[in-house]
Homo-oligomer: A and B are copies of this chain.
Amino acid sequence: MSDTAQHSEPNTIEDQMHAIGHAARAAAAELAKATTKTKNAALAAAAGAFRASAQDIIAANEIDLAAARKTAMKDAFLDRLALDGARIEAMAAGLEAIAALPDPVGQSIGEWDRPNGLRIQRVRVPLGVIGVIYESRPNVTADAGALCLKSGSATILRGGSESFHSSQAIHQCLIHGLKVAGLPAAAIQLVPTTDRAAVGTMLTMTEFIDVVVPRGGKSLVKRVANESRVPVIKHLDGICHVYLDRAADPVMAEEVSFNAKMRRPGICGAAETLLVHEDIVDSVLPAVVARLIDGGCEVRGDAAVMRLDQRIKAATDADWDTEYLDPIISVKTVSGVDAAIAHIARHGSDHTDSVITADQAVAEQFLTEVDSAIVLHNASTQYADGGEFGMGAEIGISTGKLHARGPVGLEQLTSYKYVVRGDGQTRP
């Protein structure tokens, strides 16, 4: 936190952020009472505004892109920042998809009677105010704002400074949607400054913000997790494993390994390490490795693996702890499922791990003992995604164990309360 945030003179960043917090709290109370129909109307109107304002959004995005090109940002960065007609249409469609999801607010998630006649109900309620801190991906402004709105919470969005103008243009469309539906504009606020002190202040605003969701690279998430006084739903790295057991079907081993790494090497559910039972290194592994290398993947292996193909590089200790997010995979020989589980416990990131085996006992041991948010049997780690689980859009994949684990969708963005109905009961 910068010094700026530690004083409280008029018009400091701190004052500005507190005013945003106050407005968010008031909007949250309104939003908690909004009907599903009203929230969906806001999303539909915002989607319409995206389409109608596509040229304005692209013009704002051009300002950001021009500045980013001047500071010699990498191509991957520029690609994530850039918006065009297709990407704006995808944002609009994303909002409509969120409108089509069931509203979690008000859902009864348990109901029972007590012998004294009290009827107890657990009911989903909004979290209140959600802070979202993200990098220069303008589409997150739309996705995160829409998910929080549908879950009944007010949002304070703080995007990367390089996407400032794009995010503001997108935010205007969300505001339009809120106004059309008669909801308070402060239900989705965008921090109107690129001053980094604003983030430091947000992370201390426990009276105004119920939870902070950092969305972005490891350094952003770590900074937020280390600094925040507000509870954090965090998604750290995805060092995902595929364990090819002795009883793995050879074709399945090849198909799943290739898909787990190469379908999209840059997503958090991509496999980074292949663990292979020592008994199948000579029988099953050669085809798996050949498929990966021929498909453009760099393979780094231990000594037993390196024997198989001259193109395999030597893995170092650091490889077992690395999230490549690139077409690179490390391959290690293990003595069996116990050793595989021990390796994952030591080097994994509690994200997603898969076992390929026809041996049910091995599968059950792996599924039970691997302590990750998502464990799979005979399936690709690339399924680690709320949409693939049938849960709809998500704000991230939580690697923490509290509140939400795995995909964080609408339900995970809510809390609950106990509603107790009686007829005059007093406790003896």
A residues contacting B by CB (< 8 A) are 29, 32-33, 112, 114, 118, 120, 125, 127-128, 210-211, 226, 229, 231, 233, 249, 251-252, 255-256, 258-260, 263, 345, 363, 367-369, 371-380, 382-383, 388-390, 400-403, 405-406, 415-427
State the Cβ distance, A237 to closest chain B Cβ, in Å: 15
Contact A400/B231 with A406-B417, A417-B372, A417-B405 known, Cβ cut-off 8 Å: yes
Given known pairs A255-B424, A388-B427, A401-B128, the reply for A419 and B367 (CB within 8 Å) is yes
Given contacts A375-B417, A400-B231, is CB(A263)–CB(B427) below 8 Å? yes
Contact partners of A211 in chain B: CB under 8 A: 401-402
Partner of A422, one of B379, B400, B402: B379
Query: Can you tell how many copies of this chain the complex includes?
Result: 2
> How near does chain B come to A83, taking the closest CB pair, in angstroms?
26
Q: Which 5 A-B pairs have the closest CB atoms?
A: A379-B422, A259-B426, A401-B415, A403-B403, A252-B424
Contacts of A127 in B (CB 8 A): 401-402
Q: B residues within 8 A CB of A421?
A: 363, 367, 376-379
Separation of A24 and B32 alpha carbons in the complex (Å): 41
Given contacts A33-B368, A417-B374, contact A424 B128 (CB under 8 A): no
A144 shortest CB reach to chain B, Å: 18
Which residue on B lies nearest to A233, using beta carbons? B402
Given A259-B426, A345-B29, A118 and B379 contact (CB-CB distance below 8 Å): yes
B256 x A402 contact (CB < 8 A): no
Q: Would A426 and B380 count as touching, CB distance under 8 A?
A: yes
Pick 13 A–B contacts, CB within 8 A, sort by A: A114-B390, A125-B371, A127-B401, A128-B401, A210-B402, A367-B419, A367-B421, A375-B418, A376-B420, A378-B424, A379-B420, A379-B421, A405-B418
Set of chain B residues within 8 Å of A260, measured between Cβ atoms? 426
